[in-house]
Structure 1
Amino acid sequence: MAVTVNLTPGPRSLWDEPVAITVHGLAPAQRVTLRASLRDEKGEFFRASARYEADAVGRLDLARAPALGGSYSGVEAMGLFRTLQPETPFERLVKKDVQNPFLVDLEVYEGHNPQPTKLLAQVVHERSFLGPGVKRIRVREGSVRATLFLPPGAGPFPGIIDLYGTGGGLCEYRASLLAGHGFAVLALAYFRFEDLPKELNDIHLEYFEEALDYMLQHPKN
């Protein structure tokens, strides 16, 4: 019987959506190592791994079975996603382009060797940032530089202005996910983006008032 990795809800999910991982076709009490890895938009490699033992019928359910070591220990259904670490120290996993998903490679290896070599099963899972029907709209109104994310439907929706990102630029990934939960979210850039001030000290507070007025006047709010 071939070893297979089953993912629920399926081959793709949203970044903030839980994923149930089960492995079928193992021998009873067989020891295996599970690995997760992805490469971000800068080319940086992130990975996590955990050691497991199959149950009496050769099945492994990460929501029930405890990890016996590796990147984490104990029962953690999403442990392989939560503990992804960069190969380069201090690098952060940040999504720049929310229109394209991260591809997470999930692998099952035989045994608990720190460097396992026998691959038993493999699957690629898409973790996306735009939910079904969510609209992404670039905003260039007056001096406001932003992206508006709208949930599907006629609205009106509760509005949020997202100022995430202390390093400047336009950070969209949190706003895009919030829109999938029924919020109209304005991801607002406020420095180091296009024609906005280069330094935080040069920002005028009237800019945020202008962004607030834009959201209050929007027909979807």
Structure 2
Amino acid sequence: MAATVTLEPAGRCCWDEPVRIAVRGLAPEQPVTLRASLRDEKGALFRAHARYCADADGQLDLARAPALGGSFVGLEPMGLFWALEPEKPLLRLVKRDVQTPFAVELEVFEGHEPEGGRLLGRAVHERDFLPPGVRREPVRAGRVRATLFLPPDTGPFPGIIDLFGSGGGLCEYRASLLAGRGFAVLALAYFRFEDLPEYLNDVSLDYFEEAVDFMLQHSKVKGPSVGLLGFSKGEPLCMQFWTNRSSMEVSQRLTQGHR
């Protein structure tokens, strides 16, 4: 191996932070292929690759050099991360344990062949999902089954309830990253988790009302309201709950107005 792969920041950073990738020690205008790969917690392999040419000084900076083909084309400094695709079709890249990082392997190969030529350089970059100082607190309050993520400051913080989709269970990676941006985020399970219902149709809107009350009563959450963030089946649930809660508030105001 003759080339050096450098990353800024070096070594380790959060998944939602940009990384600058550069390669030094190449021949002037040398054609190379860069490949990124990682294995998820179940061992599934995800890969991306792109073809580049070094500059006249034998250097390659992905913030300045466009990809000439591969998983993406054009100037995409973070393309090797967002373009990761599963080796086996229909798999989705999901972080199940936010307390451990993903290790992304970056390799530089000689030439533009589909399978890559001689290996010239290599680096491993760790991508975290639990930002420095963020607190992770499991929640078992009444019927609520969740994990609360709090930013490192004293607060109080704007509150968000995060709902994922039809697979059920408890998914934390979005909530943990949002907490690093200054939000108190409740990653809320609502079926197929511990003693919660097995099927989505058995979930009551009262359960989400209880989760909202938990957040509004928490000393680290800034009221008088919290945001709802939904993905897949979580999205219509957010809309349904918001519509139902708004109708109840209107009804209460009308009732009070007649007294």
TM range (shorter): over 0.9
Partner secondary structure for residue 157 of structure 2: coil
Shift of 1:165: 2.7
Mapped partners of 1:165, 1:8: distance in 2 = 34
Q: Does 1:5 align with 2:30?
A: no
Q: Give the aligned partner of residue 206 of structure 1.
A: 206
Which position in structure 2 is the counterpart of 1:145? 145
Deviating above 4 A after TM superposition, structure 1's stretches of 4 or more consecutive aligned residues are none
Q: CA RMSD in A?
A: 1.0
Structure 2: which 5+ runs fail to align?
222-259
Deviations 1:75-116 (A, max 9, x none): 100111111110100110011100010000000011111122
CA distance in 1, matches of 2:196, 2:33: 49
Using the alignment, how far apart are the partners of 1:118 and 1:2 within structure 2? Answer: 10
Larger Rg: 2
Q: CA deviation at 1:166?
A: 2.6
Query: 1:2 deviation in Å?
Result: 4.0
Whether 2:50 is the aligned partner of 1:50: answer: yes
Secondary structure at 1:162 match in 2: strand
Query: Quick one: distance in 2 between partners of 1:19 and 1:116?
Result: 23
Tell me the distance in 1 between the aligned counterparts of 2:61 and 2:123: 16
TM-score norm. by structure 2 comes to 0.84
Superposed CA deviations along residues 183-219 of structure 1, whole A, max 9, x for unmatched, are 0000000001000001111011111111111100101
Report which of the two has the higher share of helix.
2
- The answer for the alignment partner of 1:189 in structure 2 is 189
Secondary structure of the 2:148 match is: strand
**Who is 1:39 aligned against?**
39
In the aligned structure 2, how far is the partner of 1:124 from the partner of 1:215? 39
**1:47 Cα offset (Å):** 0.4
CA distance in 2, matches of 1:3, 1:115: 19
- Determine the structure 2 residue equivalent to 1:161: 161
- Provide the TM-score with structure 1 as the length reference: 0.98
Determine the structure 1 residue equivalent to 2:92: 92
User: Percent identity at matched positions?
Assistant: 72
The residue identity in structure 1 corresponding to 2:217 is Q
- SS of match in other structure, 2:201: helix
Hey, what does 1:76 align to over in structure 2?
A: 76
The Cα shift of 1:13 comes to: 1.2
What is residue 178 of structure 1 aligned with on the other side?
178
1: distance between equivalents of 2:116 and 2:36? Answer: 14
Give the gaps of 5 or more residues in structure 1: none
2:22 paired residue number: 22
Cα distance in 2, alignment partners of residues 163 and 193 from structure 1: 13
Distance in 1 between the 2:165 and 2:171 partners? 6
**In structure 1, distance between residues paired with 2:63 and 2:164:** 32
How many pairs were matched up? 221
Write the mapping of 1:54-69 to structure 2, written as runs, cut at 5 A.
54-69=54-69
Matched AA of 1:20: R
